Amino acid sequence: MAVAIDRELLGDVNKPNLKAINYAIRKLKERQGRLDKLADYYNGNQEVNNHRFENAKVKASNVMINHAKYITDMNVGFMTGNPVKYTAKKGKNIDDVLEALEKIDIHKHDIELEKDLSVFGYGYELLYLKTIDPTISIDELGNEKITPNTELRVEAVDPRAAIVVTDDTVEHEPLFGVFVQAKKNLSGQIDGYSVTVYMPKKIVEYRTEVGMEVSTDDQIVDEYDSLFNAVPLIEYRNNEERQGDFEQLISLIDAYNLLQTDRISDKEAFVDAILVTFGFGLEEDEDSIEALKNGVINAPSRDDGADVEWLTKTFDETQVNLLSQSIENDIHKISYVPNMNDEKFMGNVSGEAMKFKLFGLENLISIKKRYFFDGLHRRLKLIQTIVNIKGGNSDVDGCDISLTPNIPVNLSDVVNNIKNADGILPRKITYSWLPQVGDVQEVIDEMAQQDADNVRKNQQALRQQDPDRLELEDSQDDSSKDSKGTNQDDNQSKRTR
């Protein structure tokens, strides 16, 4: 989560300001508890695992149903199941940028980034240049020339280890970013920290001896110029509040897990019920104990007032089940993530009915998309800078970004709607209703080519069936063309006279 400061307090943004850096690090440490808890809930380390009964003899069968992971994984699939598509503004070229995105497998990266957004409420990505094997060439004189070579890379950075500092204006322009990484010795103990500061035109790495904060005594491990001409550490937001998708549901998740745990514990207590005898006692000799283990009790008759019962706790399973379903329904209602095991999501549901069932989810995704696109535009700007330095000619200004949610679609209904609207609406609009279609014009061109191919195949089939008829039609066409040409010549000669 970015922190805002007064731009004037920083001085030169390309010179490290230790006070500002340490201020950002302190803000980063303040958020560790919240972020660790969210990560624990996604990974299954939830509160129910620590549940214990007051009676130490009662075993707690802790049951953990990971709704947090379900919500995040479903939202990640809905958001990034289909790759993001980029379309250049008319008259502009972004081919070099698209090629760079393809090389770094940006779709896989977007999935990892969206997972951080869903869990933590915000995420970071770092763009950098990795040195690779140099380019070796021979000049005109036959001398070997070695040219250093770099490759653009991008990585998702753990929000618990990074922070961006912006100015305090309404635009919140990034001033610098900080990435903190613990260094450990061979014993596995923390031995200082690596603190890397990303400025618009410079990158500096410090190595601290004790703690995260940097002092004037700490060593500068590396310092070099940055070609991005902007802070290469980009922050993405999940929503305006920077909240995770399941963060407000933690109390419901805990309640559901506790209820399920108590149900299982009650079942086990029912199996391990206490045997109560009336009117007599059990002998404690070895033979009587062995007989009891085998299910045999030497008891007097009921006429003598003897009786045997199991002491069990009675509970209303119907009411418990209703409460369980109520909590689970609330989890799905508040998260907007549908329960795909629900009978309402059977395969025979119409497309229109499915649309209304997913209405809340689609609204959630539309909000997430807008905040996600803010970071993508900044990413495109940074990549454009690098590819143009390397000789490219890309311009991402006005680039259109589109993302098709990976949600169930009744394709039959979509196709029928396109057919019904043909001739009423332009095909450029109706074809855009098709899911996973990036370039509508490409679909229109393919359909035109398909129609032309069908006409040619039909003509070939007719020629094979009745070649004389086709030859007659061709000759008539030729004669009509000749007559038209003759008439045109006559008219031309009349105008000449």
Residue among 202, 216, 203, 235 at smallest CA distance from 120 = 235
Average pLDDT of every residue of the chain: 85
Q: What is the pLDDT of residue 148?
A: 78
Judge whether 409 and 435 are in contact, CB under 8 Å: yes
Q: Which residue has the tokens 């030169």?
A: 12
Task: Please give the angle made by the CA atoms of 32, 34 and 35, to the nearest 5 degrees.
Answer: 65
Helix and strand totals (H; E) in the chain: 15, 13
Model pLDDT for residues 320-370, shown as the tens digit of each residue: 889 999 999 999 999 999 888 777 666 566 666 677 778 899 999 999 999
Q: What is the pLDDT of residue 495?
A: 45
Helical segments of 336-358, H only: 351-357
Average pLDDT value for residue range 396-420:
86
Q: What is the pTM of this model?
A: 0.80
Model pLDDT for residues 362-393, shown as the tens digit of each residue: 999 999 999 999 999 999 999 999 999 998 89
Question: How far is CA 72 from its chain centroid?
Answer: 8
Tell me the domain boundaries of the chain. Answer: 274-311, 466-496
Model pLDDT for residues 93-118, shown as the tens digit of each residue: 999 999 999 999 999 999 999 999 99
For residue 430, how many other CB atoms are within 10 A of its CB?
19
Least confident of 128-137, 188-197, 272-281: 272-281
Structure tokens at 145: 């020339």
Structure tokens at 378: 């900044």
The helix (H) or strand (E) run that includes residue 236 is strand 233-237
Q: What is the 3-state secondary structure (H, E, C) of 265-332?
A: HHHHHHHCCEEEEECCCCCCCHHHHHHHHCCCCCCCCHHHCCEEEEECCCCCHHHHHHHHHHHHHHHH
Distance CA 320, CA 391 (A): 68
Tell me the pLDDT band of 57, cut-offs 50, 70 and 90. Answer: low
Residue among 77, 358, 121, 122 at smallest CA distance from 245 = 121
Strands (DSSP E) found in 31-189: 85-87, 122-138, 144-157, 162-167, 174-184
Cβ neighbours for 206, distance < 8 A, ≥ 6 positions apart = 194, 195, 196, 197, 214, 218, 219, 220, 221
Residue, of 40 and 267, whose pLDDT is higher:
40
Model pLDDT for residues 441-450, shown as the tens digit of each residue: 888 888 889 9
Model pLDDT for residues 268-292, shown as the tens digit of each residue: 666 556 667 776 666 676 766 676 6
Structure tokens at 429: 């609009």
Structure tokens at 407: 């949600």
Least confident of 206-210, 296-300, 317-321, 391-395: 296-300
Q: What is the pLDDT of residue 497?
A: 40
Structure tokens at 385: 């800078």
Judge whether 21 and 214 are in contact, CB under 8 Å: yes
Q: What is the 3-state secondary structure (H, E, C) of 59-128?
A: CCCCCCCCHHHHHHHHHHHHHHCCCCEEECCCCCCCHHHHHHHHHCCHHHHHHHHHHHHHHHCEEEEEEE
Q: What is the pLDDT of residue 163?
A: 97
Q: What is the pLDDT of residue 395?
A: 94
pLDDT at position 493 over 50: no
Contacts of residues 53-56 at CB distance under 8 Å and 24 or more positions apart, as own/partner, are: 53/265
Any bridge partners for residue 157, and if so which? 124
Residue among 374, 74, 40, 77 at smallest CA distance from 239 = 374
